[in-house]
Structure 1
Amino acid sequence: MNDVGVFFALAGGVLSFFSPCVFPLLPAYITHLTGGRIEDAKIQVNRTKLYTRSIGFIIGFSLIFIALGASASFIGKALANYRIIIMQFAGLLIIVFGLQMAGLLKFKFLMREKRIQAEHGSKNIFSSVLLGMAFAAGWSPCVGLALSSILLLAGSSETLSQGVFLLAAYSLGMAIPFFFISIVLSYSLKAMRKINRFLPKLAFVNGMIMVMLGFLVLSGQMQKISAWLASYNLFF
């Protein structure tokens, strides 16, 4: 499952970053991280500070996600005798989460939001790591659905390392656009305005990807596809 699941996890991380819950808040995160300010249609900030603080922030949220993946895998491994049932239940939940993300379902209990606000800006790379951890812990609902789907996939994985790898891929999917778009915004905010127009469509795409993932897990096709790809040496 790991071979195919990693692509879903990576895609889920990228699309989570571009969710309506996270992307519009990017300038606020950057100014909070770096102490910069928005002026002349761009974020005025020391770019060396932007690079180091962004890396610290990425490390912070990645640590939390990977720890969650390890925990989910450990629980799943402890319940190995019920793995088939867990996979089917996980598949159903992932489908529901995907439909919610796509806007085709409107369950209010899945729309609850909890955010942790840091009172002070980041002073150094270590406080940036802590801020990244707080960001991951206080997650907004639409991204939480994608994250929960990947955690369910990790919980139904065969080994602990697979679960960790899945959440590492999810973190990487968020980290890459976060780092590069943060740099772009230090030159101009125009790109952000253009991307904002496509956020609802990206949320729908994210939801449909999760629905596809859910059906693969529910039907047991994830393992078959991974085995087939492995037989042709399409993965290392």
Structure 2
Amino acid sequence: MALFKYGEAKWCDKLAQVGGLRVGTLHDFRRDEHKRGIADPSEGTKSVHYGVDAQVFTGGTEQAKAFGEAFGFKFGPGVQLSIKGCAFNRQVDSEDFFIYCLASRFSGAVLREFEGADACVRITHVRRFCDAITHALESRVAVEFIGAHRVIYTPRHETWNGVDLGKHPALVKEPSFAPQCEVRALWRPTGGAPICAEVFESSDAHQFCERIL
């Protein structure tokens, strides 16, 4: 499976020729300084809602455990919690990740949505491309690659599924972004310190991509 990277010609050339690239962070995309098509102040967030007409939770059951973990309740084995006519809402904010955004298909119309973008690189071997970025990141910070995942285009307000907090907020974007067909390569920092975007003048990533526009 090939993936695609949109960008300005000078940066696409640098990626394809010497592996020059910028690995951003999830929280960094919230800044409005980013260009149109990239900035999203809600990046990595969502809310989970649960409306209750009448329900009893019994401590020690899987149902009570799931409800407690989702909405912050603690009650011991056998303790009953009776709820009537209430609504619960949980704001979910993703931890920060290193992130490299790609697309699962090429679209000239989508390319034009990104301010300044006039070129495209095709990633010919996705796993090796991501491994090259992992190697570059590890030269500066401890990370764990957690995969390349398709973005889920759905409203950020979600009804509780009764089991857990549902879709990971790092992969949620509003349906209006769906034409982007985004795939996110994600790395979790393991050192405990705050992270920021990393820029690499070169890397081995160029071996696994080619400019097509």
Task: Flag whether TM exceeds 0.5 (same fold).
Answer: no
Which category describes the TM-score, using the shorter chain as reference length? Answer: under 0.3
If asked which structure has higher relative contact order (CA below 8 Å, sep 6+), I would say 1
TM-score (norm 2): 0.24
Give the TM-score normalised by the residue count of structure 1: 0.22
